Amino acid sequence: MTSRMRVAAALFALLALATLGSAQGSKRAAQIRTVRGFVSDKDGNPAAAAVIFLRNMRTQAIESRITDDSGNYHFSGINPNADYEIHAEKDGARSATRTVSSLDTRNQIIINLKLAPKRS
């Protein structure tokens, strides 16, 4: 094998590795998911300091967040291969439970929740 052929083969191998690495990086970036949204009270006002519960249906692990003064919340790094349930609670009021499906391919999922007074 001549030195030109060796150089060409080495360049080809580097190009192939660079392309493969780039494709893997894109795949990882596509798997980063976030769930965010807005929580309101029964009258539609922002529910500041409401607690949001996000439960991984596969592992049963629960993460929680507290809404900001505008009623917004945010979860990041969500596993795209698991289903989740999400709901909000504040002062005895609770929202309906919603589902985040692993079949949903969006990287950013927006779920707005509305608190309903606790029934006696």
pLDDT, tens digit (0-9, with 9 covering 90-100), for 55-66: 999 999 999 999
Q: Which of 96, 70, 99 is nearest to 83 (CA)?
A: 99
- pLDDT tens column, 106-120: 999 999 999 998 776
Alpha helices by DSSP H, listed for 1-120, are 3-30
Phi, psi of 55 (to 5 degrees): -110, 125
pLDDT at 2: 67
pLDDT of residue 18: 60
22-40: per-residue pLDDT in tens?
A: 444 444 444 689 999 999 9
